[in-house]
């Protein structure tokens, strides 16, 4: 039997988190989706449940999300990290990937199908790891 993968969504927008949660739960099985609006809330959740996959924005309240990527890596070194952000400059992408993110996607420029592909690829690759 499969263990349910823990997926953590870290984004200040409740609407975006809810939409992403619905997309993940509609397209994936054996997942438990957790939500956090800030890095502090996410760290508290990660202390209780280590995530397998983290989908996060780098624009987080009271914290630049780019350094938070390194915190996730320390807490959950095997977790896959996907950045979903409106801050889609090459500088942000390079910094995110340098800190340990696995994917960097623009909220505005990525199609829904590309997002679903990344969700599938990330969750399935993590599951087979």
Q: What is the pLDDT of residue 37?
A: 95
Q: What is the pLDDT of residue 64?
A: 76
Distance CA 20, CA 71 (A): 23
Instruction: Read off the pTM.
Output: 0.87
Q: Which domains does the chain have, with CATH numbers?
A: 5-128 (3.40.50.2300)
- Given the DSSP bridges, would you call strands 5-10 and 53-56 parallel, antiparallel or unpaired? parallel
Q: What is the pLDDT of residue 126?
A: 61
What is the torsional sign of CA 15, 117, 79, 50?
Answer: positive
* C-beta of residue 102 within 8 angstroms of C-beta of residue 81: yes
* C-beta of residue 34 within 8 angstroms of C-beta of residue 49: yes
The pLDDT tens digits for 81-107 are 999 988 878 999 999 999 999 999 888
How many CB atoms lie under 10 A from the CB of residue 12? 15
Q: Give the three-state DSSP class for 77.
A: coil
Within the chain, which residues score under 70 in pLDDT?
1-2, 109-113, 125-129
Q: What is the pLDDT of residue 28?
A: 81
């Amino acid at each position: 039997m499969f263990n349910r993968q823990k997926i953590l969504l870290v984004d200040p927008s409740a609407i975006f988190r809810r939409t992403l949660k619905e997309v993940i739960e509609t397209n994936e099985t054996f997942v438990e989706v957790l939500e956090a609006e800030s890095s502090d809330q996410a760290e508290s959740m990660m202390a209780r449940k280590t995530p397998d996959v983290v989908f996060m924005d780098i624009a987080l309240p009271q914290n630049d999300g780019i350094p938070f990527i390194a915190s996730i890596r320390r807490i959950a070194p095997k977790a896959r990290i996907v950045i979903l952000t409106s801050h889609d400059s090459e500088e942000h992408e390079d910094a995110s990937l340098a800190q340990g993110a696995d994917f960097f996607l623009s909220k505005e420029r990525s199609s829904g199908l590309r997002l679903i592909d990344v969700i599938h690829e990330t969750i399935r690759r993590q599951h087979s790891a």
